[in-house]
Amino acid sequence: MMRNTLQNAAFVKWACMVVAVIWAIIYHLSQHSAGLSGFVYVNF
């Protein structure tokens, strides 16, 4: 029971992150004509 609850909580957390990432990508595409180029970058 406890294990199921924990697994469900982890799944909900993961699903929320997926939704947020998809939203970020769609938002980025709507703002930039260059597509995804330069979106995932390393700058350190």
Partner 1 sequence: MDYRFIGLLSVIGLLRWLCPQRAFSLFGALMSAALIGFVAPTSAVVVMTITLLFVYPAHRLMCYADARRWTHSIQRAIFLGAVFALVALLAVFKFHQQLSARHASGARLDTSAIELIGFSYFMFRVIGFLHVQSILKQPASPLTLVFYTMFPSTFTSGPIQKYQDFKRQTDSPAAIDAALLTKGVYRVTRGYFRKLVVAELFNRAVISVLALTPTVWTSGVAVLLLYLYFYFDFAGYSDLAVGFGLFLGINVPDNFRKPFTATTVSEFWRHYHITLVDWFRDHVFVPLGGLTGSRVRAALVAAVVMLLCGFWHGLTISFLAWGVWHGGMLFIEALMGSTPVPPSRRQGPQYWSRVLWTNARIAFGAIFFLPDPAATIRLIKGFGHLGLR
Question: Judged by CB under 8 A, does residue 6 bind partner 1?
Answer: no
Over 3-41, what HEC string results?
HHHHHHHHHHHHHHHHHHHHHHHHHHHHHCCCCCCCCCC
Report the residue from 6, 12, 17, 29 that binds partner 1 according to the rule CB under 8 A: 17
The footprint of partner 1 on this chain (CB under 8 A) covers a number of residues equal to 19
Query: Which of 18, 20, 29, 23 has its CA nearest to residue 39?
Result: 29
Report the residue from 6, 9, 12, 21 that binds partner 1 according to the rule CB under 8 A: 21
Under the rule (CB under 8 A), what is the footprint of partner 1?
10, 14, 17-18, 20-21, 23-25, 28, 36-44
